[in-house]
Amino acid sequence: MKPAARGMQAVRLCGDCATIRHAFSRGGAAFTWHSAHDAIYRFKYKGRREYADYFAAEMAGVLRERFAGETFDLLVPVPLSAERMRSRGYNQALLLAEGVGAASGIPVGRNALRRVKATLPMKDLSPESRRRNMKNAFHAYRNDVKSKKIMLVDDIYTTGATIDACAEAILAAGAVKVCFLTAAIGEEPAEERLDQ
């Protein structure tokens, strides 16, 4: 698998991203989607929970390198809907967050964020449809996130619709900053950055 560029901030992933203001401050990923898609697919849909250990170790390395000098109060995994949790049997983002937490010493807020709206699968939706699909899909618990720096954890970043919806809910609940960390990112980083 090919690692994502180590110096990357929140990178341009599609044409729309140049004009979209994201709710998160910045982010990082361990691999490009192109290099890791088979492993991510098996991890997410084929029950290969053991892949979380490898991905989380690589993500912890990204956290140490890309966010050197920054501190985070809580790792928050992107939650699944109750229906997807029942069918899959586990939340891949939670497994990743627990692995990164074990490596970094940052606590995991496994219940700090809740999915409150059923959403459509995202893989076949346009970027704009993804954003509409994710609008108001999450609720953050104020007592867990207020006045904290939060690192969102998920398996893949593509257009940023999910991460943005999570970040918006967390910031609305009083967090001071939200960044993201994923196992994979949609494509190779482009020259343009979305540093905020």
Q: Where along the chain do its domains lie?
A: 15-185
CA distances from 45 to 42, 93, 117, 164 (A): 5, 13, 21, 23
On whether the CB atoms of residues 150 and 178 are closer than 8 A, the answer is yes
The string of pLDDT tens digits covering residues 84-109 is 899 999 999 999 999 999 999 999 99
**Over residues 49-61, mean pLDDT:** 97
82 pLDDT higher than 70: yes
- Residue of 82 and 145 predicted with greater confidence: 145
The burial of 109, by beta-carbon neighbours within 10 Å (0-12 exposed, 13-18 middle, 19 or more buried), is given as buried
The string of pLDDT tens digits covering residues 11-54 is 334 444 556 788 999 999 999 988 999 999 999 999 999 999 99
What's the whole-model pTM score? 0.85
The string of pLDDT tens digits covering residues 113-141 is 999 887 766 677 777 787 787 788 899 99
- Residue of 3 and 116 predicted with greater confidence: 116
Q: What is the CATH number of domain 15-185?
A: 3.40.50.2020
The string of pLDDT tens digits covering residues 135-178 is 888 999 999 999 999 999 999 998 888 999 999 999 999 999 99
Strands (E), the chain: 27-32, 74-77, 113-115, 138-140, 149-157, 177-185
191 pLDDT higher than 60: no
